[in-house]
């Protein structure tokens, strides 16, 4: 029997998968790294957790520092990644968070980072991300796809006020399939708590003016919105 040993020492980081819809595509917030390792490469926003800081608070702080986005964003823990060697600086575990941003809060500023931008989430353009961030991003997109099925979080990817058609576009882009406008309309308007009507209308899309809604207060969709699963 040996005496008590001090436990192995790790650095802990948070990384954020922040998704939004732009140009009718699902896009992800990335920052250009200003320092080694991977200086000049694109990566998910994130950084070291302080020892007196909760994980979620660290995620919110890093998001604020690096991209000045998303006060009041819905943040959800996605998973943790600790494969040995994933960070050349030494043993590092990262806790990934997922956030969905409405299409309006797009202006992005860098402060800690050399730059920040949105980019598509398709496999090709994600390949070049630093660390294991391509894999984390893929997990985030998967999670977002699932969340849209059984939660009303699709509304988080819309502006504060939106039409049913805009919400449908979110689903179509995230799921990569077209949905029948009439059945979708029936589904979302008749699910209690999904949408709350503002009474206002917009005619921005041409055609008959559409009702404007904001996100309702439902926590979970019953029954879920179904999609063709592979």
Partner DNA sequence: GTAATAGTGTCTTTCAGACAATATCGA
Partner DNA sequence: TCGATATTGTCTGAAAGACACTATTAC
Binding site for DNA (CB under 7 A): 163-165, 180-183, 185-187, 189, 201, 203, 205-211, 223, 225-226, 228
Backbone torsions φ then ψ of 104, nearest 5 degrees:
-85, -35
The dihedral formed by the CA atoms of 56, 74, 19 and 39, expressed in degrees to the nearest 10: -20
Interacting positions 117-176 with a copy of itself (CB under 8 A): none
Q: Do residues 49 and 14 lie in contact, with contact meaning Cβ atoms separated by under 8 Å?
A: yes
Q: Which does 84 bind (CB under 5 to 8 A by kind): a copy of itself, DNA, none?
A: a copy of itself
Question: What is the C-alpha separation between 39 and 32, in angstroms, rounded?
Answer: 8
CB-nearer residue toward DNA: 8 or 199: 199
190 scored as a contact of a copy of itself (CB under 8 A): no
- Is 111 near a copy of itself (CB under 8 A)? no
54 binds a copy of itself per the rule CB under 8 A: yes
For residue 134, the tally of other CB atoms under 10 A from its CB is 17
Residue 38 binding a copy of itself, by CB under 8 A: no
List the one residue from 25, 55, 134, 179 that touches a copy of itself (CB under 8 A).
Answer: 55
Q: How far apart are CA 64 and CA 76, in angstroms?
A: 16
- Pick the piece of the chain touching a copy of itself (CB under 8 A) from 21-29, 119-127, 195-203, 217-225: 217-225
Residues 110, 4: Cα–Cα separation, whole Å: 45
Q: Which residue in 34, 91, 110, 120 binds a copy of itself (CB under 8 A)?
A: 91
Cβ count near 84 (within 10 Å): 7
Which letter does DSSP use for residue 114 in this model?
Answer: S
With binding defined as CB under 8 A, does residue 203 bind a copy of itself? no
CB count, 10 Å around CB of 88?
A: 10
What residues make contact with a copy of itself under the rule CB under 8 A? 4, 7-13, 35, 48-55, 77, 79-84, 89-91, 93, 95, 220, 222-224, 226, 229
């Amino acid at each position: 029997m040996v005496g008590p040993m001090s436990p192995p020492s790790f650095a802990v980081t948070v990384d954020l998968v922040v998704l939004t819809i732009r140009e009718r595509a699902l896009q992800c917030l990335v920052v250009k790294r200003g320092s080694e390792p991977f200086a000049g490469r694109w990566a998910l926003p994130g950084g070291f957790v302080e020892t007196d800081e909760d994980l979620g608070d660290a995620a919110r702080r890093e998001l604020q520092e690096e991209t000045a986005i998303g006060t009041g964003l819905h943040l959800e823990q996605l998973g943790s990644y600790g494969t040995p060697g994933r960070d050349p600086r030494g043993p590092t575990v990262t806790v990934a968070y997922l956030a969905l941003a409405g299409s309006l809060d797009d202006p992005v500023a860098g402060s800690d980072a050399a730059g920040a931008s949105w980019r598509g989430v398709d496999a090709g353009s994600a390949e070049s991300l630093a660390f294991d961030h391509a894999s984390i991003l893929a997990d985030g997109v998967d999670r977002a796809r699932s969340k849209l099925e059984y939660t009303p979080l699709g509304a988080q990817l819309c502006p504060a006020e939106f039409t049913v058609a805009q919400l449908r576009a979110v689903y179509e882009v995230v799921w990569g399939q077209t949905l029948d406008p009439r059945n979708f309309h029936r589904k979302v308007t008749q699910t209690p708590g999904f949408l709350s009507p503002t009474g206002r209308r917009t005619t921005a899309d041409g055609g008959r003016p559409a009702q404007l809604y904001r996100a309702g207060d439902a926590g979970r969709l019953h029954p879920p919105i179904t999609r063709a699963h592979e």
